[in-house]
Amino acid sequence: MNRKISLVAMATVALVAVGVLGCKPAAAPEPKEKVEFSMHIMSQCPFGAQVQKGIAPVLKTLGNTVDFKMEFIGDEPQPGNLTSMHGANEVNGNKYQICAKKYAPANYMDVVVCMANDMRNIPQNFEKCATEAKVDPAPIKACAEGQEGTDLLSASFKVSKEKGARGSPTVFLNGEKYQGGRTETDFMRSICNAFKVEKPAACANIPEPKKIAVTVLSDKRCTKCFPDRILGQLKNMFPGLEPKTLDYADAEGKALYDSLKDQGVKLLPAFLFEAAVVEDAGFNQIKRFIVDAGQYKLLQVGAKFDPTAEICDNQADDDGDGKIDCEDDGCAGQAECRPEVVKQLDVFVMSQCPFGVKALNALPEIIDAFKEDGITLNINFIADEMPDGTFKALHGQPEVDENIRELCAIKNYGKDHKYMDYILCRNKDIRNAEWKTCAVNGIDPAVMEKCSTGEEGKKLHSENIKIAKALEIGASPTWLANNKFKFSGIAPEQIKKQFCDHNKELKGCAKTLSGEAKVQPGAAPAPSCGG
């Protein structure tokens, strides 16, 4: 009998040891070192989804050696009213994902990756993804659709704002901003390299990066080219990058430029990859910006410097035509050569750019501050006119349509800036196609519709966008003080300060507006759409 009891006892101990009786296995020991990895995203942003899919398998491999955090980017204009760049579905998708993190911590990333694989159907794809991940959807759904989800997301928005995360994705590795590649291998290599004490065993299996050759052709005369900034980002995307830098002033650089100028290389800086770059995993991150240029793959970076043209502010005859700076015909229309018009403030925006929206929302404070000074305020839009007379905008045809409607409002309701009633109303839900609800307070929807759908609206838009083109302005928002001096900014105080740098005598300059100035040397530029 005693022997039987003893055997039972031994079996019980064995069963407990393996967890058969329901006891949880012993937790994994705390590692000697953890690497911090945080990502700030929007659930319907394709680049944010890319990071989610890239980091998920790394987290499974490295386990608790990674201190991982996923936060979301958005705004809260009023308490409890959460907004995000891609609309209400994105806000709700954010809620489901952040609630999944709370109520299914062991495998919530399986839910997240599944949703990211079909991000256009977020949040409708949540329950399907929860089922596939073997996660109980009920508590997550209750959280996401209730006050708890709103509170969690509001807190997450605040974290992202405090970190200065404005674009999706913004990633930090051990507190430093990460600019590297977004594949599983990229993340694995970067995280493993961040360990200082002892790397996890899995880090020994990372393949050596493929060597990638790139030639960087720039011009030392260009004060706004900054090729090193782009090169730094590329080095993170391509760990095996081997750059060769050439200058247009040197014989080799000039010869390369001359050989490629008929192949699409007319503006600098030019980043010229060898053809083998297409075989590297990092290529997917730049693929949509690549065009063929002779034997090279040219990375389109928004280059604007023409080395053969006159530089309008360097007191030299750059193109050899005997005319210097603003005397040269090629400088006509450039900001440096425009006549100064005191007390004039221009803003250049895309109507559906969230940063442009914020800039326009700052205008009532600006208008009120300078109402005694009689400043001239102009709103200009950024878009392209095609050869067939149609228009193209960064945020699609809805943005073109809204640009035109706002120009119609400005034309017909310019007295006392009445048009701002329409613009401010639209900015509350700028992607909503129903605009007539904002034609109120004396703004006639019939007048607006006749103008915006007819030739008048097209003509207004065509003429208006030519100004940004002439000034080579592509970032929304961009400001122009006194018809001549470009600056960036969103907060009213920041805008006021930079405008007053050129209009110090105005009464409005003595007033303090909302927001921080943040225009000290070396400060990061204000966020924008385009560039």
- The DSSP output letter for 526 is P
- Whether the Cβ atoms of residue 217 and residue 270 lie closer than 8 Å to each other: yes
Q: What is the pLDDT of residue 182?
A: 84
Tokens linked to 145: 């659709």
Buried b (16+ CB within 10 A) or exposed e, 171-200: bbbbeeebebbbbbbbbbbbbbebbeeebb
* pLDDT recorded at residue 531: 67
**In this predicted structure, which of 344-358, 372-386, 509-523 has the lowest mean pLDDT?**
509-523
**All residues at 6 or more sequence positions from 526 whose CB lies less than 8 Å from its CB, including other chains:** 355, 477, 488, 489, 490, 494
Which range, of 10-19, 248-257, 299-308, averages the lowest pLDDT? 10-19
Q: How far apart are CA 348 and CA 477, in angstroms?
A: 5
Distance, CA of 227 to CA of 414 (rounded, Å): 43
Domains 212-299 and 339-530 in one fold: yes
Q: Compute the half-sphere exposure of residue 110: CA atoms within 13 Å on the CB side of its CA.
A: 16
How crowded is residue 398: how many other Cβ atoms within 10 Å of its Cβ? 15
Asked if residue 22 has pLDDT above 50, the reply is no
| Mean per-residue pLDDT of the chain | 90
Contact 244, 215 (CB under 8 A): yes
- Region 292-313: mean pLDDT is 92
Model pLDDT for residues 352-385, shown as the tens digit of each residue: 999 999 999 999 999 999 999 999 999 999 999 9
Structure tokens given for 478: 């961009």
pLDDT at 522 over 50: no
Determine the pLDDT at residue 183. 84
β pairing state of 344-349 and 478-481: antiparallel
> Are residues 71 and 40 in contact, defined by beta-carbon separation less than 8 angstroms?
yes
Side-chain half-sphere exposure of 491, counting CA atoms within 13 A: 13
pLDDT of residue 13: 41
Residue boundaries of the structural domains of the chain? 35-204, 212-299, 339-530
Question: Do the Cβ atoms of 143 and 99 come closer than 8 Å?
Answer: yes
Contacts of residue 258, Cβ cutoff 8 Å, sequence gap at least 6: none
Angle between helices 108-116 and 88-103 (to 10 degrees): 160
Strands 241-247 and 212-218: parallel
- Do residues 132 and 110 make contact, with C-beta atoms less than 8 angstroms apart? yes
Q: Shortest CA distance to 382 belongs to which of 359, 412, 348?
A: 348
Mode of pairing for the β-strands spanning 485-487 and 384-385 = unpaired
Q: Coil, strand or helix: which one is 316? A: coil
Tell me the mean pLDDT in the region 107-133.
96
Q: Domain 339-530 is classified in which CATH homologous superfamily?
A: Glutaredoxin (3.40.30.10)
Query: Which CATH superfamily is 35-204 part of?
Result: Glutaredoxin (3.40.30.10)
Distance CA 307, CA 267 (A): 7
Mean pLDDT, residues 66-76 taken together: 95
Q: Quick check: helix, strand or coil at residue 381?
A: strand
- Helix, coil or strand: residue 335: helix
Cα separation of 32 and 16, whole Å?
A: 28
184-188 mean pLDDT: 91
pLDDT at 149 over 90: yes
Burial 48-77 (b: 16+ CB within 10 A, else e): bbbbbbbbbebbebbeebbebebbbbbbee
Whole-angstrom CA distances from 497 to 9, 15, 45, 155, 299 are 80, 73, 34, 31, 37
Confidence of residue 470 (pLDDT cuts 50, 70, 90): confident
Work out the angle between the directed axes of helices 184-194 and 46-62 (0-180°, nearest 10). Answer: 60
Torsion of CA 356, 362, 368, 369, to 10 degrees: -110
Better-predicted residue by pLDDT, 176 or 21: 176
- Residue 499: other Cβ atoms inside 10 A: 26
Query: Higher-confidence residue: 363 or 515?
Result: 363
Q: How confident is the model at residue 295 (pLDDT cuts 50, 70, 90)?
A: very high
What pLDDT does 157 receive?
Answer: 96
Question: Which tokens hold the place of 255?
Answer: 């010869």
Structural element, H or E, at residue 218: strand 212-218
Q: For residue 85, is pLDDT > 90?
A: no
Is the pTM above the cut of 0.75?
no
Helix residue ranges per DSSP H, 133-177: 137-144, 147-162
Q: Which CATH class is domain 212-299?
A: alpha beta
- Alpha carbons 509 and 501: distance in angstroms, whole number: 9
